[in-house]
A and B are shown apart, each in its own frame.
Chain A
Amino acid sequence: MTTETIIQTENLNLWYGESHALQTVSMGIPKNRVTALIGPSGCGKSTLLRCFNRLNDLIDHVKITGTILLDNEDIQCSATDVVMLRKKVGMVFQKPNPFPKSIYENIAYGPRVHGVKEKSELDAIVERSLRRAALWDEVKDRLHDSALGLSGGQQQRLCIARTLAVEPEVILMDEPCSALDPIATAKIENLIDMLKQQYTVIIVTHNMQQAVRVSDFTGFMYLGKLIECGKTVQIFEHPKEELTENYITGRFG
């Protein structure tokens, strides 16, 4: 089975001031697959994730060299429309962060920004997005209630639905379950599995069992370097690098 690459980094380096946070990272992200980034705290996995939608632009003193291709186009160049980039590459964060608005408005917000005005069209987007995020049945009768009244797990699925509303190609997830209980986590994990039919998912997780459960490919990072990247089964059954072996078997440090 061949898989098309949707994102490709070549010799990607990133500095936060003097600190060299990403060191010559070259990695391909397969399309319509789930890729997990694992590694100890501070290894650069969230930094790498944030390169894919240029969220690091918002931080002062950041310097980036190398290329990041999305659909074969360099997203680092000045001509890139960052708003369009972030529409293509959505993101879900560690803690659910719904807007203090109704469930409906949370979903409709993005499409409105991108010019959708027709109510019937917005209604359809809201329903489709909530269905894809496996939340529709739980909230269809209270779409105009505040999103802040939802449980943590529901809020996180709402954030995923909000991302889906603008039809992204890639969804970045930075520890999406670490603030959730096991049942809510299981629902998000099932959702991730469904999402890969239509989207490419890149997930950063501290939980290696979660990486095993949800991902097709895994990249292991350490001290800013991508140490090893491959099929999840291979990484967790017989990693090629001793460093990876030591990390996933808990023999680190």
Chain B
Amino acid sequence: MAEKFHMELSQLKQDTLVMARFSRDMLHDALQALIEQDTEKAKEIASRKKQVRDTTIALEERTYQLIAMNQPMAKDMRVIACTLKIITSAERIGRYGKDIANMVKHIKGQPDFGQPVPLMHMANQVIAMIDDTLAAYEVENLDRIAGLSFRDDAVDSLWHSIFRETLTFMMENPKTITRSTYFIMVARYLERSGDHACKMAENVHYMVTGERIEIK
């Protein structure tokens, strides 16, 4: 019986990774659609939300069933606890992707600032944090999330910098207020996604070692 349970647990982990990477792609693709102002692509990205929602519920159901049927302990219990947290964070990241995609149609055609805002750069930092955290979860090794706290500090700095920069644009030219406000929201969502990467990493750390740490 233990063998069957461990196979199911391993499959649950694999499927959670697929779902989490699907959500990560939504965030990445939404940023690209935003930069390219591609409303068609944005629409398609927003429509992926249903799949994230359905998969989340299905994965949670399977997790609850594994708990009910097997009363997992020690590492097995920690894998399950970590998986539940990852499912929640991943769903949130996917929804940020959808929210950003939904902004594209409102931003398209709005007066530009005349100079780029480093949103894609910030997104790449956050997505790398998510990728490394998911890889750590997959192989149960903490090497790739060792410096996550510093990387999150860098993301926080980018958020403050973008916030201040866009405020300046708005003061200089009120016609940019719509675009600026949306950009501030995008930066905020990216900063939150970085925090979700840290939350997931804390849980991966607990899964691997049994010790609780705080990554901030």
Contact = CB atoms under 8 A, between A and B. Distances in A.
Answer yes or no: do A and B interact.
yes
Interface of A: 208-209, 212, 236-239, 244-245, 248-251
Contacts of B73: 208, 212, 236-237, 248-249
Contacts, number: 37
Question: Which of B3, B74, B77, B78 neighbours the largest number of chain A CB atoms within 10 Å of its CB?
Answer: B74
A238 B71 contact: no
B78 A249 contact: no
Nearest to B211: A238
B5 A245 contact: no
Contact of A245 (B1, B72, B75): B75
B5 A236 contact: no
Interface of B: 1-3, 5-6, 71-78, 209-211
A249 B72 CA distance: 7
Dominant secondary structure at the A interface = helix
B74 A236 contact: yes
A238 B6 CA distance: 18
A249 B71 contact: no
11 contacts: A209-B71, A236-B74, A237-B74, A237-B210, A238-B210, A248-B73, A249-B72, A249-B76, A250-B1, A250-B2, A250-B5
Nearest to A234: B210
A209 B78 CA distance: 17
- Which of B1, B6, B73 lies at the interface centre, i.e. has the most chain A CB atoms within 10 A of its CB? B73
A238 B79 CA distance: 11
B71 A245 contact: no
A231 to B, nearest CB: 13
Contacts of A237: 73-74, 77-78, 210
B5 A238 contact: no
A249 B210 contact: no
